[in-house]
A = this chain, B = another copy of it.
């Protein structure tokens, strides 16, 4: 036999039944809450035009986009042109002669593209959720894959804070349903902007947020060093340190932040917004965290991040308000706000804390043994009755040794076995064996059907 190497592309995964069922449990829980809140499903294709994606994720992001090779490059009439086009690729540029399409890198840009294309037909505010895979040519490592699911809910076309309140409630409801204890952190990009203004101008905001964003990893002293390197003076760094040192209960933090930046107009607005969300969302695990920055992307107002308690794991959710997402596609002035769930990490948290319910593996409930032609015909008929009543059942595929059929049930974690042999066929009875307990009982066919459909 020729040796054949079969493998999966690096950073991708097969999901067997047990994992699919656990993932489906997470997805269904999230979707059901999205639906309760009036969000509607949207699905966009795996591939987008390359133009749609390029330049939206920064220089590093662009490099991680999986591009699709055009077909028909061996067309003899076009060889010269294609060679020239390939020179551009070698120079790090894109060329529509070589690649016109790419796999989607996130769900946000395809959503923005969808809204830009369809905004005249959409009912505003447009509330959509989207649960689909995305692809990134990142270096694979523990917990980081090249194909992974994102799970987003966004509202566009509304500036109302009601949306932020609802989105924070969605976070709380989902994690409550999943049994995951979390802290939902809230801050506002307006508060960060106000801090920058107080430190001498809006142009400082990028430097400040980049440094603050590293606080978790490098600590306050290193953040101060970095701020100094980025040109902030001692007085400015002292303000930022005071800002980062705000601690205590939510009420204490509110009082402190009002004192520090409440005199600034942008700051006052930002504080008012997070206070409103906090007071109206009625969720006791919402926590002010002024060190929360959410990178450098498109957020402009309230921002969120979710951390799981009792486990070492990065954030398992995040989001916030953005002002003008579809402007990228020529449709300006559509405000938006959204949140995202990190499904792979939520899965890992639930595994580590053993939070998946026992019933999540809902496979076959009853295996009928196959003990010969006449016996299996009867078993087949009874099995079809069970199935017609919604009970997942199987008949072992052939008349094999008892032991072999038994092992099949064990491996597939089928909880009940029904045995119909010659004797049982004569007496219209069957033996039911429960695998977990080893208990066995002999009952009539009717009693057996009733037992499983009760």
**Which residues of A line the B interface, CB within 8 A?**
1-4, 6-9, 12-17, 20-21, 24, 35-38, 40-49, 52, 63-64, 66-69, 71-74, 79, 82-83, 86, 89-92, 98-101, 103, 113-114, 116-118, 123, 125, 127-128, 133, 135, 137, 147, 155, 158, 160, 162-163, 169, 173, 280, 282, 328-330, 332, 362-364, 376-377, 380, 384, 387, 390-395, 397-398, 408, 411-412
Who on chain B is nearest to A326 by CB? B6
| Given contacts A89-B74, A123-B412, A1 and B332 within 8 Å (CB-CB) | yes
Contact B330 A6 (CB under 8 A): yes
Given contacts A43-B20, A398-B158, contact A7 B49 (CB under 8 A): yes
Q: Which of B2, B8, B67, B162 contacts A69 (CB 8 A)?
A: B67
Decide: B9 and A397 in contact? CB cutoff 8 A: no
Bound form: Cα–Cα A83–B90 in Å: 8
Rounded to whole angstroms, the CA-CA distance of A412 and B113 in the bound complex is: 21
With beta carbons under 8 angstroms apart, the residue of B83, B162, B169 that contacts A398 is B162
B147 & A46 in contact (Cβ 8 Å cutoff): yes
- Does the CB pair A74–B45 fall under 8 Å? no
Are B74 and A9 in touch, CB under 8 angstroms?
no
Q: How far, in Å, is A139 (CB) from chain B's closest CB?
A: 11
Contact between A47 and B123 (Cβ–Cβ < 8 Å)? Answer: no
A330 / chain B contacts, CB cutoff of 8 Å: 1-4, 6
A99 (CB) vs chain B CBs: closest residue: B69
B contact residues around A155 at 8 Å (CB)? 397
- Bound-state Cα–Cα, A436 to B287, Å: 43
CA distance A21 to B40 in the complex (A): 9
Pair B398/A47 contact, Cβ less than 8 Å? no
Tell me whether A116 and B6 are in contact in the complex, defined as CB-CB below 8 angstroms, given that A35-B392, A37-B387, A135-B46 are known contacts. yes
The reply to whether A364 and B91 contact each other, CB–CB distance below 8 Å, is no
A412: which B residues are within 8 A, CB to CB? 38, 40, 123
Closest B residue by C-beta to A366: B38
Q: Are B392 and A36 in contact (CB under 8 A)?
A: yes
B82 touches A71 (CB 8 A): no
Q: Are A9 and B49 in contact (CB under 8 A)?
A: yes
The residue in chain B whose Cβ has the minimal distance to the Cβ of A83 is: B90
Contact of A397 among B2, B64, B162, B332 (CB under 8 A): B162
Query: Looking at the complex, which one of B13, B125, B395 makes contact with A162 (CB distance below 8 Å)?
Result: B395
| A300 CB, nearest partner CB in chain B, Å | 18
Please name 12 further chain A to chain B contacts, defined as beta carbons within 8 Å, in addition to the given A17-B128, A36-B393, A38-B363, sorted by A numbering: A6-B330, A16-B118, A20-B40, A20-B42, A35-B363, A46-B46, A47-B135, A66-B68, A79-B90, A123-B412, A160-B397, A280-B380
Pick the 3 closest A-B CB pairs, nearest first: A4-B330, A74-B92, A17-B40
Establish whether residues A147 and B89, one from each chain, have CB atoms under 8 Å apart when the complex forms.
no
Q: How far is the CA of A163 from the CA of B74 in the complex (A)?
A: 44
